[in-house]
Structure 1
Amino acid sequence: MYYRFDPTFIILIPAIILAFYAQIKVQTTFNEYLRVESLRGYTGAEVARYILDRNGLNNVSIEVTGGMLSDHYDPRSRVLRLSNDVYYGTSIASISVAAHEVGHAIQHANAYFPLVFRNSLVPIVNISSSMSWIFIMMGFVASRLFLDIGILLFSAAVLFQVITLPVEFNASSRAIDELVANNLITFDEEKLSKRVLNAAALTYIAAAASAILQLLRLVLIRNSRDD
């Protein structure tokens, strides 16, 4: 069977390349600085606990979670979950990632607007992300109305990815500020921590770029069906 090449796929190539690069960058950078011990010798869990307590967040607990780079803050249960390497590790990578996740806890406590807005989108995105492609496929074989609905639903997922960027950048900024202000890292280590967090930020940039370009592609496909 002959399939006509879809030229709009070219739009996605930069996002695919960026996503591939970001994945390699975050893994290599994390592994590199996982082997660089911090001079203070604190574990990621100790750093997280210290910063949390200094910000009056004694009610936020810290748990170990499985997986690599699976660290996250759960605002519903107010729990900071750190991977094994981060929780027990005393490396630059460990304390940087731990401080970043604490940054999210501080955002939550301060009702940081981008975080509040992103969290409000979660129920919508959970539905729209799964339903959008159903409507898009229906739009290809049936009415264009289904395609329009699918694109609208997919737009919610794109918005979620875009609003995630300031949330992540701000959490990293808070992490560096807390590490420095509380004398948990030295001046030279501050540069290394920024490298770890900047590498991690690339994954969110890649995800947002991919979502935006995919939306652009869908719009172009939709418009070409009108011609």
Structure 2
Amino acid sequence: MDITATDLWDRVFGTQPAPSHWTVIVTGLVALLAVLPRPVWRLTRNAVTIAHEGGHALVALVSGRRLSGIRLHSDTSGLTVSRGRPTGPGMVLTAAAGYVAPSLLGLAGAALLAAGHSTALLWGAAGLLAAMLVMIRNAYGVLTVLLAGAAFVLVSWRAGSEVQGMFAYAVVWFLLLGGVRPVFELQHKRRYRGAGDSDADQLARLTRTPAALWLLLFHVVTLASLVAGGRWLLGV
């Protein structure tokens, strides 16, 4: 059966019924299980790295910097390279965007789900991953982003509304919960002097303020996003 442009528009931007309260809770528990156990986190953290580096890249472009490329590594680290002034607001915003990006994306996703736009969320995520793919500069990064994008496209195009809703809620819960853990990991590394060139330390050098202050900001943004996004998802 042929799909017209109107049908496609209604399919993507129309509203979908909210899942049951228990479905929301179960998807949150599934996301929690993807974040807490260390062996699982070693794999799922790759998704948080995609959001982290995507945050750096997006803010670099918005602030007028020239994006050179993004690399994603199998140890879940990443690198985003942009060109422009080595100091100034653009560089500060770009450096600050990484650790808060997963949580802010999760918060935006929670707002979309609260409004009943689970399909639009899935298509939007696929579009962002496609745009990011153009700037990936290593094979592992290409594979990771392709697999993530394929999952979103497959679910949004082939699955029913119920499965789409469950998948969308699980993804948003994961971003909200998964955005919190890396900040605590960074705090732990800095305590033992294992992250001397972290985003917080770069920001400290750029702004001549303590790295601990930036670490506190990361904690505030990620935890506040989790609380606000969680309330939207649960409808409380």
**TM-score, normalising length: structure 1:** 0.34
**TM-score, normalising length: structure 2:** 0.33
User: Radius of gyration: which is bigger?
Assistant: 1
